[in-house]
């Protein structure tokens, strides 16, 4: 029962689950709420958008997320400059009354890769303003180190492009990042299925963040459960310590006493 005493610590706060999930792309709020619950996540990401002032019939997302149970992590998705991202974070803090932000500053629409120059600029301002900044970044150890030095509470390198489902494309970079920074390393984006999440955790990552892999699955509720198990299995395997890889066989059964 090693996992019972295992927790993810970010900026002095403790979270039991190492899986963070998004709230986008679900068929409806009921499906979203069920998927979040089954995933076991403690942290859920949300986006900040204009209220539709012409059509006020829309329900609030927050009617479906118990804020006593979940920590909101507002993102800056859709921001292409440091200025827009900082502005979005300030609005998010006012709407959600929490300092946690998932900072993303995008470079282009096709790849949704981060614009690291603007990301660093925004991170610097937000840390100074007292935000707990969790930046989505490329899997670049140098950029991750710079983000840590600026005071970010974690780094969130991508496994693959957002929504691509390609998995952890460069596990070696992720390992170097983990050796380079002391803050939690959370793989954000690119996960396609349970084995991708398990791999991230087996590498020793502190957590995994995903949205499309669950919401876009044929059965999002079942996939949420799969991810819950995968993240815990991967974490446990990491803590257990895997055997080294060898080219040739080593017999599992004793060589002594074989009949002749």
Partner 1 sequence: MKLLVNGEEKITSPMSVYDFLLTIECDPRPIAVELNRAILAKNDYRTTFLLEGDQLEIVWFVGGG
Active site residues per annotation:
102
Q: Is 253 in the site for partner 1 (CB under 8 A)?
A: no
Q: Is 137 in the site for partner 1 (CB under 8 A)?
A: no
Which C-beta is closer to partner 1: that of 75 or that of 115?
Answer: 75
Can you say whether the dihedral through the CA atoms of 169, 179, 231, 248 is positive or negative? Answer: positive
Site string for partner 1, 176-215 (x = CB under 8 A): -------------x-------------------xxxx---
Q: Shortest Cβ distance from residue 37 to partner 1 (Å)?
A: 15
Q: Is 24 in the site for partner 1 (CB under 8 A)?
A: yes
User: Which range touches partner 1 (CB under 8 A), out of 19-27, 116-124, 226-234, 239-247?
Assistant: 19-27
Per the CB < 8 A criterion, the answer to whether 169 and 201 are in contact is: no
The only residue of 60, 250, 252, 253 in contact with partner 1, by rule CB under 8 A: 60
Spatial neighbors of 26 by CB under 8 A, at least 6 apart, are 32, 35, 215, 220
User: Which range touches partner 1 (CB under 8 A), out of 73-81, 118-126, 150-158, 237-245?
Assistant: 73-81
Q: Is 25 in the site for partner 1 (CB under 8 A)?
A: yes
Q: Is 162 in the site for partner 1 (CB under 8 A)?
A: yes
Spatial neighbors of 30 by CB under 8 A, at least 6 apart, are 64
Q: Is 72 in the site for partner 1 (CB under 8 A)?
A: yes
User: Which range touches partner 1 (CB under 8 A), out of 91-99, 124-132, 141-149, 250-258?
Assistant: 91-99
Can you say whether the dihedral through the CA atoms of 174, 175, 179, 184 is positive or negative? Answer: positive
Estimate the crossing angle of helix 141-150 against helix 171-180, to 10 degrees: 30
- Rounded to whole angstroms, the Cα distance separating 249 from 21 reads 40
Q: Shortest Cβ distance from residue 24 to partner 1 (Å)?
A: 4
Our measurement of the distance from residue 129's CA atom to the centroid of its chain's CA atoms, rounded to an integer in Å, reads 23
Q: Shortest Cβ distance from residue 209 to partner 1 (Å)?
A: 8
Per the CB < 8 A criterion, the answer to whether 183 and 213 are in contact is: no
Q: Is 227 in the site for partner 1 (CB under 8 A)?
A: no
Of 230, 226, 209, the C-alpha closest to 23 is 209
Of 218, 237, 219, 240, the C-alpha closest to 229 is 237
Of 18, 10, 17, the C-alpha closest to 183 is 10
Residues that bind partner 1 (CB under 8 A): 22-26, 32, 45-51, 53-54, 56, 60-62, 72, 74-75, 77, 87, 90-96, 162-163, 189, 209-212
């Amino acid at each position: 029962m090693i996992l019972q005493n295992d927790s993810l610590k970010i900026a002095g706060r403790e979270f039991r689950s190492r899986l963070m999930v998004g709230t986008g792309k679900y068929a409806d709020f009921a499906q979203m709420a069920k998927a979040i619950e089954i995933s076991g996540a403690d942290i859920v990401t949300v986006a900040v958008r204009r209220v539709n002032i012409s059509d006020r019939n829309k329900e609030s997302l927050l009617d479906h997320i118990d804020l006593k149970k979940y920590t909101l992590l507002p993102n800056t998705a859709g921001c292409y400059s440091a200025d827009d991202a900082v502005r979005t974070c300030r609005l998010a803090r006012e709407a959600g009354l929490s300092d946690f932000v998932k900072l993303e500053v995008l470079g282009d629409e096709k790849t949704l890769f981060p614009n690291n120059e603007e990301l660093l600029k925004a991170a610097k301002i937000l840390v100074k303003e007292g935000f707990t900044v969790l930046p989505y970044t490329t899997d670049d150890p140098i950029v991750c180190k710079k983000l840590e030095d600026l005071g970010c509470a974690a780094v969130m390198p991508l496994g693959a492009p957002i929504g691509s489902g390609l998995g952890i494309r460069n596990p070696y970079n992720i390992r170097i990042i983990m050796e380079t920074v002391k803050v939690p390393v959370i793989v954000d984006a690119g996960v396609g299925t349970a084995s991708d999440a398990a791999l991230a955790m087996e590498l020793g990552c502190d957590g995994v963040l995903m949205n499309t892999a669950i919401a876009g699955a044929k059965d999002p509720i079942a996939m949420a459960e799969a991810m819950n198990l995968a993240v815990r299995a991967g974490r446990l395997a990491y803590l257990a310590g895997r055997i080294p890889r060898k080219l040739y066989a080593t017999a599992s059964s004793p060589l002594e006493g074989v009949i002749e």
